[in-house]
Amino acid sequence: MFGLADVNSFYASCEALFRPDLRGKPIVVLSNNDGCVIARSAGAKALGIKMGVPWFQVKIQDYPEKVYVFSSNYALYHSLSQRVMSALEEMTPKVEPYSIDEMFLDLTGIDGCEDFEHFGRRLRSHVLATTGLIVGCGLGPTKTLSKSAQWASKEWKQFHGVLALTPQNPKRTETLLASQPVEEIWGVGRRIGKRLNLMGIETALQLARVNPALIRKNFSVVLERTVRELNGESCIPLEEMPPAKQQIVCSRSFGERITSKVSMQQALCQYATRAAEKLRGENQNCRHIGVFIRTSPHAQGEVFYGNSAGEKLAIPTQDTRDIIEAAMRLLDCIWLEGRRYMKAGITLDDFTPNGVNQLNLFDERQPRRNSAQLMKILDDINHSGLGNVWFAGQGINTEWKMKRDMLSPGWTTCWADIPKARVL
């Protein structure tokens, strides 16, 4: 048996956690640059504020109630996610962090000892007691079914956020799947949902009844696995140890459009630095580096321009200097003067773990001397919380940096921001 724990309205709940005055109020969290709505509290959903809409299109002054708006505060969300994770691990030994607000649980040991829904409710109150956050919990014989159960636990209020599907109760599984539209199934998105609809398949139950071989022929093995999982055949295992990353991306929209090459170089230099830090954090070296830049696809009266370029290095690296150098060369290949750029990013690919770098026998280029030591010192200083060092190419006080006008304090990540309690 698998479980799926999902924190209700995660980002919005995090914002309310240290602001008791906001409990039950409409809360909205915006994407980077305060661009789109990416999370809403129950109150905000009730007002009809939609997920993913551009913030400037939302007229909050028209709502009957005050809406509390926040820029996204990933340091806060990440630290609270860790707390939820620890709380879950206290009750189930095997937990797979699936996303910042969702964790899969291995319930093998619970089988036969405790009623699954009873266990789910205990889990829920334990997480609430230790973190102040409320999780929904779906349980089922496969990951896909536990996702469906979790979906239904929100849909049907009488379950109070905990629902178990078991082989002992096939009737309940059938009823649930018959009421779940295909595009709500884990692994079925809008595209495949539409195609299935055209074939007359509209509910999860209908999909479950299709011959898997037929699905494989017309779609792919991925959807075939989904069909099998809906029938209780577990095809997707729990992964306790996250597999090594295969790619690192660092990209961002700008607070203000970039028009000068120097500014673009600064931005890419910063993203390259960040990407290289992540790479070292994974104990990996990369061999392929890619850069992309683009103007806004929404701008009226402007011709869209987007381009990317990539380069394969002679020797895999994790040295920030190599990555910045490559990024600057790549920018030279794709930079076009006279455009208003909205976004840029860098990708690192083709990894080899530390310590297995094979040099080319005839290659004259040698790796930099003392690279590892220098990068370690750099990372140590920047992680110390005492100061920062960076490459001059990043510039200072850059006008294009991200807009985060409504950022909440780092309640759990910054000493100066620790909440203060006062006894009256």
Partner DNA sequence: TCTGGGGTCCTAGGACCC
State how far the Cα of 218 lies from the Cα of 207, in Å rounded to an integer. 13
Residue 284 interacts with DNA (CB under 7 A): yes or no: no
Strand 102-106 relative to strand 248-258: parallel, antiparallel, unpaired?
A: unpaired
**Residue 24, by phi and psi: left (phi above 0), alpha (psi -120 to 50) or beta?**
left
Strand 306-317 relative to strand 284-295: parallel, antiparallel, unpaired?
A: antiparallel
**Closest approach of Cβ 189 to DNA, in Å?**
2
Residue 420: CB atoms within 10 A of its CB come to 5
**Cβ nearer to DNA, comparing 189 with 338:** 189
Residue 218 interacts with DNA (CB under 7 A): yes or no: no
Tokens 């790619």 identify what position?
A: 247
Strand partners, 6: 102, 136
State how far the Cα of 103 lies from the Cα of 90, in Å rounded to an integer. 13
DSSP label of 54: B
Strand 162-164 relative to strand 135-140: parallel, antiparallel, unpaired?
A: parallel
Binding window for DNA (CB under 7 A); candidates: 244-252, 326-334, 378-386, 404-412: 244-252
Residue 270 interacts with DNA (CB under 7 A): yes or no: no
The H or E element containing residue 147 is helix 143-155
**Closest approach of Cβ 338 to DNA, in Å?**
16
Q: Segment 305-324, which members bind DNA (CB under 7 A)?
A: 312
Residue type, 65: E
In 305-411, beta strands by DSSP E:
306-317, 341-353
Residue 249 interacts with DNA (CB under 7 A): yes or no: yes
Q: Binding residue for DNA (CB under 7 A) from 169, 246, 354, 370?
A: 246
Binding window for DNA (CB under 7 A); candidates: 77-85, 110-118, 164-172, 185-193: 185-193
**Cβ nearer to DNA, comparing 126 with 274:** 274
| End-to-end Cα distance, the chain | 49
Residue 96 interacts with DNA (CB under 7 A): yes or no: no
Residue 221 interacts with DNA (CB under 7 A): yes or no: yes
Residue 393 interacts with DNA (CB under 7 A): yes or no: no
**Cβ nearer to DNA, comparing 110 with 152:** 152
Binding window for DNA (CB under 7 A); candidates: 114-122, 168-176, 204-212, 337-345: 337-345
State how far the Cα of 173 lies from the Cα of 365, in Å rounded to an integer. 62
27 CB-near residues (< 8 Å, 6+ apart): 9, 12, 15, 16, 40, 41, 43, 44, 67, 68, 69, 70
Residue 56 interacts with DNA (CB under 7 A): yes or no: yes
Tokens 């992540």 identify what position?
A: 278
**Cβ nearer to DNA, comparing 171 with 191:** 191
**Cβ nearer to DNA, comparing 166 with 226:** 226
Residue 323: CB atoms within 10 A of its CB come to 23
Tokens 């530390």 identify what position?
A: 354
Q: Binding residue for DNA (CB under 7 A) from 23, 50, 54, 365?
A: 54
**Cβ nearer to DNA, comparing 157 with 298:** 298
Q: Binding residue for DNA (CB under 7 A) from 8, 31, 352, 398?
A: 31
306 CB-near residues (< 8 Å, 6+ apart): 292, 293, 294, 295, 297
**Closest approach of Cβ 412 to DNA, in Å?**
20
Residue 152 interacts with DNA (CB under 7 A): yes or no: no
Q: Binding residue for DNA (CB under 7 A) from 97, 132, 181, 187?
A: 187
Taking alpha carbons only, the member of 68, 31, 67 closest to residue 47 is 67
Q: Binding residue for DNA (CB under 7 A) from 191, 369, 420, 422?
A: 191
**Cβ nearer to DNA, comparing 122 with 379:** 379
**Closest approach of Cβ 316 to DNA, in Å?**
13
Binding window for DNA (CB under 7 A); candidates: 75-83, 183-191, 322-330, 387-395: 183-191
Contacts with DNA, residue ranges (CB under 7 A): 31-33, 35-36, 38, 52, 54, 56, 98-102, 147, 185-193, 220-222, 243, 245-253, 257, 278, 296, 298-299, 312, 342-343, 345, 402
